[in-house]
Amino acid sequence: MKLLITGGCGFIGTNFIRLMHRSHSDWTLINLDKLTYAGNRNNLAKLEQEADNYHFIQGDIGDRELVRSVLADYKIDAIVNFAAESHVDRSINDPSPFVTTNIQGAQNLMECARNHDIERFVHVSTDEVYGTLGPEGKFKETTPLAPNSPYSASKAGADLMARAYFETYGLPILITRCSNNYGPYQFPEKLIPLMFLNAKNDKSLPVYGDGLNIRDWIYVDDHCRGVELTLLKGREGQAYNFGGNAEETNINVVKTILHILGKPESLISFVADRPGHDKRYAMDFSLAKQELGFSPSVDFAQGMKETIAWYEKNAKWLEAVQNGSYRNFMKDWYKERKA
């Protein structure tokens, strides 16, 4: 198979490419990534240097001529689309890049795929398109989409466009929706790596509101296996939920990090809550279990230990990704929340 992975230098894309290289040595992997602030080509530098079946192309999924040429030149069989702006706080500050990449870029990719007779197209989405849950129940694939942030609204828009391309044009597209990922290579604006960095340096750990917002956490390799199963076995036109069976409050996640590092809970500080902050996410992945044979293999306690160990071992990586863009964003973030 000749597989195009978009956004492959980001957190989940990086781990997916590594998994595909290990599991499918006969596949050709082409990584198209714009290299925005959260895309790091060095994540896959060794693979790029040593693997004949891995190729990197810097570019935008919204660039129609580029996408067309990649599909034609490499004779692409299938696409997995990870490319997206993905941070809720950034989407609140400025929604426009989220509309441009997450909706218009995804639509351009679908249109190019339609014109090149792509055999399979997996569009990677998020549980956030469903909105928020009360204390009971879980999101099913049939749950109505009710996004509450500009980020989740842009992802929901892309999901609906994917449905339209399947229903209208017969594009063989599938959608995956996943709960919160954690693991190696996650950019340090997200909760777990940010809290690790602050705790490691004995800095304050800012927690939104009362810290009781609940997320279902999934180790990134489990999510990547779900995407792989969708690509290989999924029904065209179908959306599949993936979760980790690990509902945890944000405050418990933060305390877990402090406990692993042997740091005091006095480092925790509560800050003004995020606008439109969803209270609870939980995923019903019974359809993926039934049709794809999916189940998470890494529990939260094990996954957190492995994640923290990876960050401690890869301090130089963390140092390298803390560029000016990240530092300036977090500086503004602290200022706004303390106002």
| pLDDT, tens digit only, all 339 positions of the chain | 999 999 999 999 999 999 999 999 999 999 999 999 889 999 999 999 999 999 999 999 999 999 999 999 999 999 999 999 988 889 999 999 999 999 999 999 999 999 999 999 999 999 999 999 999 999 999 999 999 999 999 999 999 999 999 999 999 999 999 999 999 999 888 899 999 999 999 999 999 999 999 999 999 999 999 999 999 999 999 999 999 999 999 999 999 999 999 999 999 999 998 888 889 999 999 999 999 999 999 999 999 999 999 999 998 888 778 754 444 544 454 455 444
How much is the pLDDT for 34?
A: 96
Q: What's 200's DSSP letter?
A: H
Could you tell me the two tokens for 157?
């828009």
Is residue 159 flagged as an active site residue?
A: no
Beta-carbon contacts of residue 310 (< 8 Å; ≥ 6 apart): 183, 184
Give the burial string for 12-40 (b: 16+ CB within 10 Å, else e): bbbbbbbbbbeeeeeebbbbbbbeebbbb
Identify whether 334 is a catalytic site residue: no
* Residue of 33, 60, 85, 128 marked active site: 128
Burial 62-76 (b: 16+ CB within 10 A, else e): bbeebbeebbeebeb
- Domain 2-185+217-247+276-298 sits in which CATH superfamily? NAD(P)-binding Rossmann-like Domain (3.40.50.720)
Can you give the pLDDT at residue 136?
93
d(CA 113, CA 74): 13
Q: Distances from the Cα of 295 to the Cαs of 23, 211, 267, 286, 309, in angstroms? A: 18, 28, 35, 9, 24
In the set 33, 60, 89, 127, the catalytic residue is: 127
Q: How far is residue 33's CA from residue 7's CA, in Å, rounded to a whole number?
A: 5
The pLDDT value given to residue 143: 98
Kindly list the domain boundaries of the chain, sorted by start residue: 2-185+217-247+276-298
The pLDDT value given to residue 323: 57
Q: Point out the catalytic residue in the list 54, 130, 151, 185.
A: 151
Beta-carbon neighbour count of residue 301 at 10 Å?
11
Catalytic residue at 151?
yes
Taking a C-beta distance cutoff of 8 angstroms, is the pair 115, 68 a contact? yes
pTM over 0.95: no
